[in-house]
Structure 1
Amino acid sequence: MLGQSQAFSGFSVDDLDAARRFYGEVLGLEVAETGEGEMRMLTLRLGGGASVFVYPKEQHTAATFTILNFPVDDIEAAVAELERRGVTLVRYPGFDHDDKGIVRVGNGGPAAIAWFTDPAGNVLAVLQEN
């Protein structure tokens, strides 16, 4: 029934202005803002024509799971650039992170992954495929 729909995902943040700066200036995504006052929202334009809806929520609770994954060709270069732009990587207990904060995975999944958060605490990742 919905197989032909142009579906999109969305998530909340506690500060729309901080989100706009982070996703636009730090991550370099195309960010469109619409609405006014309490009806302001962002649309993040991703590769391949995909988009993600970002909306403010007063009682925002950060996602404790990865909400966006960004595939990259060179994870070490991507991590270095994120850190240069002020992003701090998240190190989760139980994972074997290298000195750069990268987890080498394999076994049918991505070859490597590194997690970080947006200003609202939502979890994001860069990953390098096999």
Structure 2
Amino acid sequence: MFENVQAFSGFSVDDIAAATEFYGGKLGLRTSQANGILTLHLAGGRDTIVYPKPDHVPAEFTILNFPVPDIEAAVDELVARGVEFEHYDWVDDKGINRRGGPLIAWFRDPAGNVLAVLEQP
């Protein structure tokens, strides 16, 4: 039924203006807005919508993963842009998980949703 439908994903935030500044300003994504909904224009034509929700509850799972060739450089640049990384018990001082699998570091958007940057050659 949906094999030829170009599906897309979305998630909620409590403040579209803060989300626009974060995703467009700090992360450098191309964004647009229409009808009170923010669209993140991700590489590969994978647009994702961000919609306001007054009773928003942050996602405690990773909603977006950003693959990068060099996680050290990406973490350093994001920190320089004001992004704060999560510091779970199993990550190093920079917030990078090195316990197996891809190198990965988690951070949150202004609404508290979990995002990640992960190293992929």
TM-score higher than 0.5 here? yes
Task: Tell me the equivalent position of 1:68.
Answer: 64
Task: Tell me the equivalent position of 1:89.
Answer: 85
Q: Give structure 2 stretches of 5+ with no counterpart.
A: none
Paired residue secondary structure (1:82) = helix
Note the aligned Cα RMSD (angstroms). 1.1
For residue 92 of structure 1, report the CA deviation from its aligned partner: 2.2
Counting only pairs closer than 5 Å after superposition, residues 34-113 of structure 1 correspond to structure 2 as: 34-35=34-35, 40-93=36-89, 95=90, 97-106=91-100, 109=101, 111-113=102-104
Task: Tell me the equivalent position of 1:24.
Answer: 24
| 1:13-32 superposed Cα distances (whole Å, 9 cap, x missing partner) | 00000000000010000001
Task: Tell me the equivalent position of 1:114.
Answer: 105
For residue 99 of structure 1, report the CA deviation from its aligned partner: 2.0
Q: Across the two proteins, how many residue pairs are aligned to each other?
A: 121
Partner AA of 2:50 in structure 1:
V
| 1:74-110 superposed Cα distances (whole Å, 9 cap, x missing partner) | 00000000100011100223x2x1221101243xx4x
- Contact 1:89–1:114 under 8 Å retained in 2: yes
C-alpha separation between the residues in 2 aligned to 1:91 and 1:52?
27
C-alpha separation between the residues in 2 aligned to 1:42 and 1:5?
21
Pick closer, same or farther for the CA change 1:6–1:105 going to 2, 3 Å. farther
- TM-score by structure 1 length? 0.89
Give aligned-pair identity as a percent. Answer: 60
| 1:37-68 superposed Cα distances (whole Å, 9 cap, x missing partner) | xxx00110101110101000000000000000
C-alpha separation between the residues in 1 aligned to 2:61 and 2:53?
18
